Structure 1
Amino acid sequence: MPFNRINGFYIGAFQMPEKPKMTIDERNEELNEALTTRLEQLKAAIEDQETQFKEMRLACDAKHAYRSEEMEDDQRNCIGEINWYVGMIKLKGGWRLCYAKDYEHYSWPAESIDWKPLVDCSVEERIDAVPHIGALREAIVKSKESLVPELEKAIEAVAKLTK
């Protein structure tokens, strides 16, 4: 077995098997299978979290802003902000784990946030939001804590009316 003095190895002693070159269609098919499997896994994990949050017995919407950026005008004055949220929101009669990107302009009246179920979001939105789902558990508890005093006031107001 001849020794190659330039490259420092024996020729023919060991060969790295070359991977057969895949056509673009073969690569695409392989990636489609991988993406389908992983998207199904992500959907199942999100649905599992949604179920766990429902078991916390929500009483009102709970949200967590996980990112915020200022909006500037041409003179670089702050005119508003963009907020990204995850939340457990009551949509169409059921509690859903949701995502929203909200534009808040300081000079315009506030608009309601446009929520959509996280499982229905784009892949990029899901990837962006998923790491922040854990903080939503605290937001759910805080929303219930703030609701209790409001309920007590409402009960007291109704009780005064019935006397």
Structure 2
Amino acid sequence: MPTTYAFGPFRLDVDGQLLFRHSELLPLGGRAVGLLHLLIQNAGQVVSKDVLIETAWSGLVVEESNLSVQIAALRRSLSVEKGADCWIETLARRGYRYIGPEASKLGSEPVHTPPLIMPKKPSIAVLPFDNLSDDPQQEYVARASSKTSL
């Protein structure tokens, strides 16, 4: 059974690692989804930085700044809803706490996931190359790509 939470206008699909606002898919990586899931499960309680880091980077040694980056990404995604970027509270030197609307775990009813809209025609983007090396023998790649036009 999929693990899905509804809170405010948002829906968090933990298994699919997706966050929706109504039917709009919001950009959010897997680590951020895991962190949001843990914060929602412990709503109103301080979750220590150590626990959050172990959740997102299990068994890895990472700098604390990685956690700050993921929390910032969460706040940015939530900020599409006025005031929702404040739903994750920072407690200096202690951790973070979810203080948003109560999250309800959705039951076994099917959750509507909007279909991905694909373009009718395949498309490709070609970007010019720059020779970032000091090797002049690589310059032909940069020059050749700058002369190519679509």
Q: Same fold (TM over 0.5)?
A: no
- TM bin (shorter chain): under 0.3
- Whose relative contact order is higher, 1 or 2, with alpha carbons under 8 Å and at least 6 apart? 2
Question: TM-score, normalization: structure 2?
Answer: 0.21
